Amino acid sequence: MARLLISKNNGAQLIGLMLLIGLTVSGCNLNIAKEIRRHTYPPEFNYTTEKELKTTMWQLAAQVKKLEEVMQNPNVNGDLRRREAMQILTEMEQISKALGMEGWPGNHPKVSRNITKFRSDLVAARRALETNPPVYYLAGTISGACSHCHGAS
């Protein structure tokens, strides 16, 4: 590896590699993989590893379950239900950021194709709760938003 560096005679690259090596030693393997991808793919490309995608999906699934509980639990009603549901929807929007930016290509075409629709549904459900009186219908059927990617089509 050292010979390769010298032959290229590129100081910036040398520093970059030394940094990568340093990071390896400190055990930040995930960051390195990301760092390398940042250089191999154009910056507007959303690269999501299989593992990141799955982790994100399970996080979303956990929130959907939580939201369904909030919507169905008769003890969580009125403004408490509204506030809890809004918080969960905001959290889901936050989690969905790991799926990349809207309208930009990525390595999961299904995700890039539908992520904007998914986020719009989350936002619509949250906004409906902000109206006076709040509208709960969209929050209560949020799993419908998952079907942009998980539906029959």
Q: Which residues bind ligand HEC (CB under 6 A)?
A: 53-54, 57-58, 60-61, 64, 99, 108, 110-111, 114-115, 118, 145-146, 148-150
Of the pair 70, 99, the CB lying nearest ligand HEC is at 99
Of the pair 26, 141, the CB lying nearest ligand HEC is at 141
Asked, as a colleague might, if the bond just before 74 is cis with ω within 30 of 0, I would say no
CB contact at 8 A, 82 and 135: no
Of the pair 13, 143, the CB lying nearest ligand HEC is at 143
- Please, which residues have CB within 8 angstroms of residue 32's CB and are 6 or more apart in sequence? 20, 23, 24
In angstroms, give the least distance from the CB of 82 to ligand HEC. 20
In angstroms, give the least distance from the CB of 136 to ligand HEC. 17
In angstroms, give the least distance from the CB of 140 to ligand HEC. 14
Q: What whole-number distance in Å separates Cα of residue 118 and Cα of residue 98?
A: 13
Q: What whole-number distance in Å separates Cα of residue 133 and Cα of residue 53?
A: 36
In angstroms, give the least distance from the CB of 108 to ligand HEC. 5
Q: How far is CA 104 from CA 46, 49, 65, 108, 133, in A?
A: 7, 16, 29, 11, 36
Of the pair 60, 134, the CB lying nearest ligand HEC is at 60
